[in-house]
Amino acid sequence: MKERLSPASPAQITGIILLSVAAVFLFINSLIAIAIALFYIVLCVAAVFFYSRSFYLPVISRGNTGQNLVALTFDDGPAEPTTRQILFLLDKYSVKATFFVSGVNALKHPEIIREIIARGHTIGNHSFHHNPFLMLGSYNYLYQEIFKAQEVLKEMGVNTLAFRPPVGIINPKLPPVLDKLGMFCLTFTCYASDAGNRFIKNLSFKILKKVRADDIIILHDVPPRKKEESDILLPEVEKILQGLIAMDLKVVPLATLIGREIIHDK
């Protein structure tokens, strides 16, 4: 039986077109040919920073329900005491979220991983070390970072299908890694630019100002980097939950919003 080939990505199709045009111009005007080739290189470099675009691989960044629904996600944990505090707050509003965890933090807090699942939330893979420069590494490094996080979670009874790259950066090496691991890439559309809870002030205002139906909201469940802001985070998250209710935007599980399972049931 022949192996099924993956469809060409927009990056590959664009490359074939632009480089073919550049090859033609090579015989007419070499400067134009060089300019076209350079444009493609710049396009490829710029594309890694557009976390919601499917340039290199299919990326799920929002829902397609056409209803007043959104999903809530938290990155970089689990962490004490923030993750537990957020879990209690989510219970208060009967909201289910998805936590994209690093392998290192999951190993530190296996009991929180179990609590997240017990409370009806889901978990995604956020790499093992959460290196913000992960996508600059080799294929093997990228594979090991995602694979090791998967193994840690599987030991805890969690077989997640969703991978969110650190800081949302994507590169051409990611598609074959996720194909091999049977995973998909999931990013976000609504972000307050809090830089991993470094900037908490006006967090709720920033989210509520830009959120739209079918958005995937990204927040963080790590302690604020500034100690003086430790008492601000939870009230800001609660304001977001209250604001979404006031806007008639219902928070649903991520799997419901995207129509695809986050965790594979054994």
> pLDDT per residue over 162-196, tens digit each?
999 998 777 788 889 999 999 999 999 999 989 88
Lowest mean pLDDT among 35-44, 122-131, 217-226: 35-44
Distance between first and last Cα of the chain: 27
Domain boundary assignment for the chain? 10-47, 59-258
Checking if the pLDDT of 158 tops 90, the result is: yes
pLDDT digits (tens, 9 = 90+) for 245-254: 999 999 999 9
What the block records as the tokens of 152 is 């840690």
Length of the chain: 266
Q: What is the pLDDT of residue 4?
A: 40
Q: What is the mean pLDDT of the chain?
A: 86
Q: What is the mean pLDDT of residues 126-138?
A: 89
What the block records as the tokens of 60 is 């799920």
- Considering only the top CATH level, what class is 59-258? alpha beta
Greater confidence, 3 or 217?
A: 217
Q: What is the pLDDT of residue 193?
A: 87
pLDDT digits (tens, 9 = 90+) for 29-44: 777 767 765 655 555 5
Q: What is the pLDDT of residue 39?
A: 58
What the block records as the tokens of 215 is 């958005």
Model confidence at 7, pLDDT cuts 50, 70, 90, reads low
Greater confidence, 4 or 38?
A: 38
Q: What is the pLDDT of residue 181?
A: 96
Checking if the pLDDT of 51 tops 80, the result is: no
User: What is the percent of the chain where pLDDT is above 90?
Assistant: 63
Q: Is the pTM of this model over 0.85?
A: no
Checking if the pLDDT of 25 tops 80, the result is: no
